[in-house]
């Protein structure tokens, strides 16, 4: 039989398909890179690369903050030069970095339904947390989860966890820190804080003692290890990438599986006991509180979320607090005086929420540390689901398009995919001189109402509140549900440790910003530990 003159051979089909794909790719590149984009009307830096856009300036600079690039550049310079809405490009994605408070309010609160978290980042957290939870749900499902979980993070409930914070902080003082002080051995305090906060979150989240289960501890540590940037990008952009048979991912996959089995066992045991909830204020863990109103699968996702996110952010925040205090003895002395006064009014001990809550200057120090060294680099990227006009503080508006429209001859092609990516860069927001006086200085007094520093910031903002210019825990429906828990934990640990020990930086310490996605850690918090004399000005 003669071959058909009208049906191409396999070889011809391959050539035709390759040509078609290449032609389509060139067409898309022409449209996306040469044709004027709707966002080009916004101010922004010129693109340094035809292919990469600004990605080497953005992602590349973040990865070098610990070594050669000043934090938080280039984002702060962009804000100063181009204002509160900056257009830039990463590869083919056109993005807008927003620091204008009115625009942030619009995106995160008043029109938040039009700006869900991006599909890629939601998918990554869904894989990592064993299902859809607070970091990966949207719309009505997210609202349902928040409504169910909010009571477990209320002030009344957080009060019951304070004894856990203080107990573990006390144990750290009596063992790890006492040994270091007595032997004059420097400590990597980042490691100390990671161990301490893991012990606390294990107990508070699901009643588990990691220090008594070394295999579980090792699995968690392996699951938390930093991955190469290309793998992190794959987890965001490629469905189920975390489970690909890639050598760098195999340890992560095994650790995640082991950790999941452990948590499922704990959940099954708790459900089998079916203990009634007490009427008093006993400190039941979060899993105990959740189980009566959720399924075991949901409980696994939520517990994993609280443990992973709560541990990483709190340990990093503690590292920054101690990095700042190490070179500011006057602030430490004032904190110790405040602690002594509060202890005297509470029977000689810091043993309750009420006592911790009275440490007003301590709260100001923590808040300033979260401003000056923001733990999370940016709020999870939002995407526009529909065209929108976003209001700005100066009364103008900016147009945010949903989709890219390609016109070819007489046909119109609508690209499937996400809308414009909206980023809120927190370090640039928190160091913006339009909102903060002396923005590049560590000044806790700016968070003490009525001080000259508070008044100076207030004059710049034009309002008494910090809303939408200070957001270490984000804002709106997607804010951090555990912020009360985290602030109380940081205050309890800091007060307990600095009351008994002085901490100094060694010659090997590096207090620049190390990015371990999505957290900013102290690059090397190598510290000396010395006991505080029982009497004298430091006591």
Q: Which residues are annotated as a binding site for heme?
A: 480
**DSSP-derived pairing of the beta strands 421-425 and 93-98:** parallel
Nearest CA to 263 out of 314, 316, 223, 315 is that of: 223
Residues 6+ apart with CB under 8 A from 143: 477
Three-state SS annotation for 463-490: CCCCCCCCCCCCCHHHCCCCHHHHHHHH
The CA distance from 467 to 448, in Å, is 16
Task: State which H helix or E strand residue 261 sits in.
Answer: helix 247-273
Q: Token pair for residue 373?
A: 């060294």
CA angle, residues 186, 189, 191, in degrees to nearest 5: 115
The CA distance from 501 to 179, in Å, is 12
Q: DSSP letter string over 213-252?
A: -HHHHHHHHHHHS---HHHHHHHHHSTTGGGS--HHHHHH
Residues placed in the known binding site: 480
What is residue 396's three-state secondary structure?
Answer: coil
Estimate to the nearest angstrom the gap between the alpha carbon of 349 and the chain centroid: 33
What are the residues facing 88 on neighbouring strands?
95
Q: Would you tell me how many other CB atoms lie within 10 Å of the CB of residue 256?
A: 22
Task: Classify each residue of 375-413 as buried b or exposed e, where b means 16 or more C-beta atoms within 10 Å of its C-beta.
Answer: bbbbbbbbbbeeebebbbbeeeebebbbbbebeeeeeee
Q: DSSP letter string over 444-465?
A: GGGGSTTSHHHHHHHHHHSSSS
Estimate to the nearest angstrom the gap between the alpha carbon of 80 and the chain centroid: 24
The CA distance from 30 to 26, in Å, is 6
Task: State the distance between the two ends of the chain, measured CA to CA, in whole angstroms.
Answer: 100
What are the residues facing 505 on neighbouring strands?
527
The CA distance from 197 to 494, in Å, is 12
CA atoms within 13 A on the CB side of 351: 6
Residue 472 — φ and ψ, nearest 5°? -65, -20
């Amino acid at each position: 039989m003669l071959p058909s003159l009208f049906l191409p051979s396999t070889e011809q089909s391959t050539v035709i398909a390759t040509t078609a794909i290449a032609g389509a790719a060139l067409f898309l590149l022409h449209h996306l890179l040469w044709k004027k984009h709707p966002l080009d009307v916004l101010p922004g830096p010129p693109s340094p690369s035809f292919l990469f856009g600004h990605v080497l300036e953005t992602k590349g600079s973040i990865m070098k903050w610990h070594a050669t690039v000043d934090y938080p550049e280039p984002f702060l310079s962009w804000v100063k030069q181009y204002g509160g809405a900056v257009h830039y490009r990463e590869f083919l994605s056109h993005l807008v970095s927003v620091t204008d408070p009115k625009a942030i309010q619009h995106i995160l609160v008043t029109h938040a339904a039009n700006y869900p978290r991006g599909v890629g980042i939601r998918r990554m957290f869904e894989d990592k947390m064993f299902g859809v939870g607070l970091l990966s749900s949207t719309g009505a499902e997210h609202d349902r989860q928040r409504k169910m979980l909010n009571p477990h993070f209320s002030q009344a409930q957080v009060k019951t966890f304070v004894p856990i914070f203080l107990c573990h902080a006390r144990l750290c003082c009596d063992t790890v820190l006492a040994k270091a002080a007595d032997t004059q051995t420097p400590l990597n305090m980042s490691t100390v804080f990671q161990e301490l906060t893991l012990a606390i979150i294990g107990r508070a989240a699901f009643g588990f003692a990691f220090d008594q289960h070394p295999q579980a501890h090792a699995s968690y540590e392996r699951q938390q290890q930093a991955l190469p940037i290309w793998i992190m990008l794959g987890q965001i952009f490629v469905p189920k990438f975390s489970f690909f048979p890639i050598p760098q991912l195999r340890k992560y996959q095994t650790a995640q599986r082991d950790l999941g089995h452990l948590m499922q066992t704990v959940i099954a045991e708790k459900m089998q006991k079916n203990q009634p909830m007490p009427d008093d204020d006993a400190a039941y863990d979060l899993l105990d509180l959740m189980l009566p109103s959720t399924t075991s699968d949901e409980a696994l996702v939520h517990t994993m979320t609280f443990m992973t996110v709560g541990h990483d952010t709190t340990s990093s925040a503690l590292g920054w607090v101690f990095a700042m205090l190490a070179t500011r003895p006057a602030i430490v002395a004032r904190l110790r005086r405040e602690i002594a006064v509060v202890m005297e009014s509470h029977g000689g001990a810091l043993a309750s929420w009420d006592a911790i809550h009275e440490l007003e200057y301590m709260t100001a120090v923590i808040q300033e540390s979260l401003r000056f060294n923001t733990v999370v680099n940016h709020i999870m990227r939002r995407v526009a689901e529909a065209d929108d006009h976003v209001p700005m503080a100066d009364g103008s508006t900016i147009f945010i398009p949903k989709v890219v429209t390609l016109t070819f001859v007489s046909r119109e092609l609508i690209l499937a995919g996400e809308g414009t990516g909206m980023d809120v860069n927190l370090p640039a927001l928190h160091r913006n001189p339009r909102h903060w006086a002396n923005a590049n200085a560590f000044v806790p007094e700016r968070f003490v109402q009525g001080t000259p520093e508070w008044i100076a910031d207030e004059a710049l903002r034009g309002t008494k509140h910090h809303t939408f210019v200070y957001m270490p825990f984000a804002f709106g429906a997607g804010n951090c549900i555990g912020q009360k828990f985290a602030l109380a934990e940081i205050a309890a640990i800091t007060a307990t440790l600095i009351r008994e020990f002085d901490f100094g930086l060694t010659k090997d310490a590096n207090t620049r910003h190390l990015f371990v996605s999505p957290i900013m850690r102290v690059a090397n918090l190598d510290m000396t530990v010395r006991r505080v004399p029982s009497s004298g000005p430091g006591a």
